[in-house]
């Protein structure tokens, strides 16, 4: 069975990482566009780098939760691809092997001149940091207003899914929120979110609860289908 999972900030909430839209529209005290747009970076690069340095250090202190692990365990029996809007690496640390990061990765940086020049980066990133080709480095994050390079690959995955599991996303940010439109009409969709933005239907089964309780139930449900 081909299972495609679409995750958002909610799956990492119980690991201790804050979601975006639950906290009065501010992201850790900042207007989102001031820290997550090319304009914000041009206006105040130090603020933006400091913001992501703090997020990066915070990420190194948290661990995957039961929901990340339950999704990783699905790989034992199924062909599983995770499409995440999250920039954390908690899916990988839980053991998932096929993770597509739509919005980039916190533990990577890239050249400001060449988006394909990407490096692993666990330390703080400073304005004086350049790659070996002398390119300025910036966070490997897809900011608002920038293209989403992995989108076509993500669409193709959704188009070929038997089962789609959506976890912890407000479905407010496009193009990620549009991915569900590509679900085959005969696919089964599960949606886990304590504040779900989608209603149940013949095709969609909604679990209005937290990821750590809802995702294991979805996994049990899928395993029961098999048996």
Binding-site annotation, residues for substrate: 52, 55
> Is 126 a residue that touches ligand APR (CB under 6 A)?
no
Residue 141's beta-bridge partner residues?
A: 104
Is residue 101 close enough to count as binding ligand APR by CB under 6 A?
no
**Of 94, 168, 189, 219, which one interacts with ligand APR (CB under 6 A)?**
168
Q: Is residue 21 a contact residue for ligand APR (CB under 6 A)?
A: yes
Interaction between residue 71 and ligand APR (CB under 6 A): no
Please classify residue 210 by burial: count the beta carbons closer than 10 Å to its beta carbon, then call 0-12 exposed, 13-18 middle and 19+ buried: buried
Candidates 103, 133, 135, 140; catalytic one:
103
Q: Quote the CA–CA distance of 188 and 141 in Å, as a whole number.
A: 31
Establish if 105 lies at the interface with ligand APR (CB under 6 A): no
Q: Does 103 participate in catalysis according to the annotation?
A: yes
Q: At closest approach, how far in Å is the CB of 132 from ligand APR?
A: 29
Please count the CA atoms within 13 angstroms of the CA of 36 that sit on its side-chain side: 18
Does position 169 bind ligand APR by CB under 6 A? yes
Instruction: Return the residue of 4, 5, 6, 10 that touches ligand APR, per CB under 6 A.
Output: 10
Report H helices in the chain. Answer: 10-13, 32-35, 38-43, 45-61, 66-73, 90-94, 151-159, 211-226
């Amino acid at each position: 069975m081909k299972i495609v999972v679409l995750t958002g900030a909610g799956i990492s909430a119980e690991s201790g990482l804050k979601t975006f839209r639950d906290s009065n529209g501010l992201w850790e005290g900042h207007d989102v566009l001031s820290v997550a747009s090319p304009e914000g970076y041009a206006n105040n690069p130090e603020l933006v780098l400091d913001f992501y340095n703090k997020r990066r250090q915070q990420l190194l202190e948290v661990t995957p939760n039961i929901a990340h692990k339950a999704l990783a365990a699905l790989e034992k029996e199924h062909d599983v691809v995770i499409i995440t809007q999250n920039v954390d690496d908690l899916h990988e640390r839980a053991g998932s092997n096929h993770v597509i990061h739509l919005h980039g990765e916190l533990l990577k940086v890239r050249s400001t001149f060449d988006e394909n020049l990407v490096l692993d980066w666990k330390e703080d990133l400073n304005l004086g940091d350049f790659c070996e080709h002398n390119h300025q480095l910036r966070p490997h994050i897809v900011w608002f207003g920038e293209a989403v390079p992995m989108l076509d690959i993500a669409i193709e995955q959704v188009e070929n899914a038997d089962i789609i599991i959506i976890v912890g996303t407000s479905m407010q940010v496009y193009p990620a929120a549009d991915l569900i439109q590509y679900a085959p009409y005969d696919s089964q969709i599960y949606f886990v979110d304590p504040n779900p933005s989608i209603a149940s239907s013949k095709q969609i089964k909604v679990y209005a609860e937290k990821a750590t309780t809802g995702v294991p139930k979805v996994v049990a449900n899928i395993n029961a289908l098999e048996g």
